[in-house]
Amino acid sequence: MSEQHYRALQAFYLATPINRIFRPSISVSAGEATVAMPIEERFFHAAGAIHGAVYFKVLDDAAFFAANSLEQEVFLLTTTFTTYLTRPVSEGVLRAVGKVVNQNRTQFIAEAVAFDAQEREVARGNGLFVRSKKPLRSIEEYANACA
Domain residue spans of the chain? 3-146
Q: For 94-110, what is each residue's pLDDT tens digit?
A: 999 999 999 999 999 99
pTM assigned to the model? 0.96
> At 78, which amino acid appears?
T
Question: What is residue 58's predicted lDDT score, i.e. its pLDDT?
Answer: 98
pLDDT at 147 over 90: no
Tens digits of per-residue pLDDT, 105-140? 999 999 999 999 999 999 999 999 999 999 999 999
Average per-residue pLDDT for the chain: 96
Nearest to 57 by CA among 26, 29, 91, 32: 26
CA atoms of 123 and 94, how far apart (whole Å)? 10
Contact 126, 81 (CB under 8 A): yes
pLDDT > 90 fraction of the chain, expressed in percent and rounded = 98
CB atoms closer than 10 angstroms to residue 142: 22
pLDDT of residue 1: 65
- At 22 the three-state DSSP class reads helix
Instruction: Specify whether domain 3-146 bears CATH 3.10.129.10.
Output: yes
